[in-house]
Amino acid sequence: MVISILGFIIGYILGQYLNFSVPNNYTMYLSISTLACIHVIFNGYINLKMKKFITKAFLVEFIITILVGLIASYIGILLNVPLHTGFIFVFCFNLYRKINVLIDFQFYNKDTATDKYIF
Amino acid sequence: MLDKKGKLAFTFVSFILSFLISIQVNIAKKSPTADNISLARANELSIELERVKAERDSLAETVATLKAYKDSTSLVNESLNNDALLVAGTSEVEGPGIKVTLNDSAKVINPEINPNVLLIHDEDILSVINELFVSGAEAISINGQRIISTSYVRCVGPVVNINGTRLSAPFIVSAIGDPQTLESALKIPGGVVDNLTPWGINISITPFENIIIPAYDGLYSTKYIKRTIDKEDK
């Protein structure tokens, strides 16, 4: 856990130091990627708590989630349909659900938490 | 617990996440508030820009077409305008011509003669004007009243109304044209002069090398007339 926090801090400092500039048109993809990362991390943490964590599955989920989010957003732009909004909604909705599951898992019944997660 | 690979994977994803957040923070810092328009709005503006560009191109084409049309017709219009202005009577003109002076008869009124025949009437003036136009007169005025397309000559009691102005004898008809032709036309046997002189009407014709005829100074008022070209354009 400590090493993960360290990775987080290093990433943030590096991002500030490198001072990347992204054109306004692409900031949407950045947001989708960020939300996908949060989604994957929470998923991985829940799996870890449930002792179901598999490293390969975690990395594959990470790559696929980001790719699907980016591709769908790109297609949405081409079709003039705000698909990225749908993805943002799904990621945010899942984030709250996962927080709820983690709280259940930590403080209430583990079985109830597992049911919520499956739903 | 996590194995080594799992920890590395978590660290890697955390690193990517924080890196992305960091970039977004940088972008948010750099962008002024006014520039933080939503993507949907940016798309709307982009579509609007494309539409306006297309409209601009279309209008530019129309302007080019109209400019070409204007260039091709400007010479014709110029010559037409010059001639039209001279003939229309909107400007003072000069040139060679004659002055015809018409005065009432000096004969003593005789009970056997209708006194009306001893006076100048509208029809006498109209016959003079008509004869002058037929003979090639290009501009005519009567006592300073320019004769234009809507001019009228009408007896109103003891005076003659021309262009809304009441005039009385003597009537001086000025005409620009070839003086000799104009004079001959009036003096032709059986012509205007021959018809009026028997009643004692005084007619004198004087040729001039240069006569100035004033512009029409009345009002132009139209209610029903429309140019057909304007109707076609619509």
Q: How far apart are CA A37 and CA A34, in angstroms?
A: 5
Whether the complex's predicted ipTM surpasses the cut of 0.90: no
Of the partner residues A7, A30, A31, the one whose CB lies closest to the CB of residue B15: A7
Of the partner residues B9, B15, B30, the one whose CB lies closest to the CB of residue A59: B9
Within 8 A of A4 by CB-CB distance, chain B residues are 7, 10-11, 14
Chain A nearest CA to B24, separation (Å) = 7
In this structure, are residues B96 and B211 in contact, taking their beta carbons and an 8 Å threshold? yes
pTM over 0.80: no
The per-residue pLDDT string of chain B (234 residues; one tens digit each, 9 = 90 and over) reads: 677 888 888 888 888 888 888 888 888 777 655 455 667 788 888 889 999 999 999 999 999 988 887 777 666 666 666 777 777 888 889 999 999 998 887 776 677 777 777 788 888 899 999 999 999 999 999 998 999 888 888 888 888 888 888 888 889 999 999 999 999 998 888 888 888 888 778 889 999 999 999 988 887 778 888 877 666 555
The tokens for B9 are 């994977």
